[in-house]
Structure 1
Amino acid sequence: MENFICVQCGTQFGEAEEPPSRCPICEDERQFVRHTGQEWTTLRRLAANHHNRIEDEAHRLLGIGTEPEFGIGQRALLLQSPGGNLLWDCISLLDHETIAEVNARGGIRAIAISHPHFYSSMVEWAECFDAQIFLHSADREWVMRPAGAGPPIQFWEGSTLSLWDELTLVNCGGHFQGGTVLHWPTGANGKGALLTSDIITVVQDRRYVSFMRSYPNIIPLGASAIRRIVETIEPFPFEQIYGGWWQANVLADGK
């Protein structure tokens, strides 16, 4: 039995003897199936020819991303906080070197993920570090591998969820109905930071952000959905924005 991983989006599925016949996440209009057809791998095969790049994106904010690029190519962020470390977003590859690096920084208390495209191997990570997973309940249908021996997935509801050390998950919607960002009040030397993935996308210029329903298929997000995102984050002070890819960060005047 294997937990097969979709090569296109990086999502890990529940145990099976054969690869799934389809990937619902890739078949959705916000993603796409590879032109050559659906393809699958496993964690063991992925680790044979990939490794994780691990380096600081900011003080107490460790980036973790896979090289060569795999799936959608995002990097996760390990936010190191006095009350326990939070893994923001997730990636497919978890190997011995990554486990050692994360444990050297205090492990992971919980995992919070912005939207289903980055659910990846979240259950694998949660079981390894005995970490709680927080997902917005509006995106429950997109979980392809249910929680196993580790803590159950906590599907939260409403507009915000307070964690520890004043960290707050904020449901903005947009890209997905459950689209979530993380407010880190002590980030940016106490001026506050948002970890946004591509719910709020930091573009190449890095002075601006953008919003889309689908990035690969260039489906724009409607004006009312964008207004909702802006109104939802308005109460939270922040100087910096950390997007979903390496150096995709607004480091000053983020708000």
Structure 2
Amino acid sequence: MTCFLCPQCGVQFAATQTPPENCPICEDERQYVRWEGQAWITGEELSAGHRLVMKDDAGVLAFGIEPRFAIGQRALLAQTPHGNVLWDCISMVSDEAVAEINRRGGLAAIAISHCHYYSVMVEWSEAFGGVPIYLHADDRQWIMRPHNAIVSWAGETLAINPSLTLVRCGGHFAGGQVLHWKRDDGNTLLSGDILQVTPTRRHVSFMYSYPNYIPLNAPAVRRIAAALEPFEFDDIYGAWWQQNIIGGARTAFHASIARYLQAIG
């Protein structure tokens, strides 16, 4: 029995004797099936040609895969006095990464913005004794490897600890969530691509489907604005290396909302 991974989205599936017939995540219009057709790899095959890297990204420890694999996101470690949380996830776990997180106080939980980054979330949880994985219940259908560590929470906000609060924004996915992080040097949003930090690093943008260029509609964008209105934040950390807004992020967010709504008419 093998937990196969889809190389296009990087998501791991429940254990089977043979590869699954299809990847529902990639067949959805917010992703796509690779041009060569659906394929599958094992974790061992991935490790043979790739490595997990750890780097500081604007003061936060981040984890990625080199060379680039699947969607190419990186994960972030939100370190708090009340326990550390891994934000978003990647398709590899390494002994070195586990040791570094343990050196920094261990891991209390995992939280992931949306299903494109579910990756090998179960393996990350098990590497730290089965810590909870917080996913919004509205995205339950996209869980390809069920596990008892998964917490499908419902509602609009969930305080993981006194420093970290999940906020359901919707948009890209119905259960799309961001993580608000109270820090000593200023509050932060960890956004994945629910809020997509643009290459200028002065704005964010929004899409229903990134690879298929389907914009998010105005009511959905206004809902995101309303969901985040109660929260103060100075920085936004996006889904990719160095794609962050450091300082003035709340002002940039409001300007981005207005710019986007004007652009789509």
Report the TM range for the smaller structure's normalisation.
Answer: over 0.9
**Structure 1 equivalent of residue 133 of structure 2:** 133
- 1:159-216 Cα distance to aligned partner (Å, 9 max, x none): 00011133100000000000000001216x1x31100000000010100110000101
Match of 2:126, SS?
helix
Match of 1:26, SS?
helix
Q: 1:43-122 residue pairs with structure 2 within 5 A? A: 43-59=43-59, 61-122=60-121
Shift of 1:105: 1.9
Residue identity opposite 1:7 in structure 2: P
Match of 1:55, SS?
strand
- TM-score of the pair, normalised by structure 2: 0.92
Distance (Å, rounded) in 2 between the aligned partners of 1:25 and 1:4: 14
Distance (Å, rounded) in 2 between the aligned partners of 1:67 and 1:160: 34
**Structure 2 equivalent of residue 207 of structure 1:** 202
Tell me, yes or no, if the aligned pair for 2:188 and 2:234 is still in contact at 8 Å. Answer: yes
Distance (Å, rounded) in 2 between the aligned partners of 1:232 and 1:79: 21
Count of residues paired in the alignment? 249
1:156 correspondence with 2:157: no
Tell me, yes or no, if the aligned pair for 1:185 and 1:237 is still in contact at 8 Å. Answer: no
Match of 2:248, SS?
coil
Shift of 1:81: 1.1
Distance (Å, rounded) in 1 between the aligned partners of 2:119 and 2:245: 25
- 1:36-56 Cα distance to aligned partner (Å, 9 max, x none): 001111111111111112012
Match of 2:161, SS?
coil
Distance (Å, rounded) in 1 between the aligned partners of 2:163 and 2:157: 12
- 1:45-83 Cα distance to aligned partner (Å, 9 max, x none): 111111112012243x21101000001000000111111
1:2 correspondence with 2:24: no
Tell me, yes or no, if the aligned pair for 1:47 and 1:95 is still in contact at 8 Å. Answer: no
Distance (Å, rounded) in 1 between the aligned partners of 2:61 and 2:116: 20
Residue identity opposite 1:30 in structure 2: R
Deviates more, 1:241-250 or 1:88-97: 88-97
Cα RMSD between the aligned structures? Answer: 1.0
- TM-score of the pair, normalised by structure 1: 0.95
**Structure 2 equivalent of residue 38 of structure 1:** 38
Tell me, yes or no, if the aligned pair for 2:82 and 2:163 is still in contact at 8 Å. Answer: no
**Structure 2 equivalent of residue 241 of structure 1:** 236
Residue identity opposite 1:4 in structure 2: F
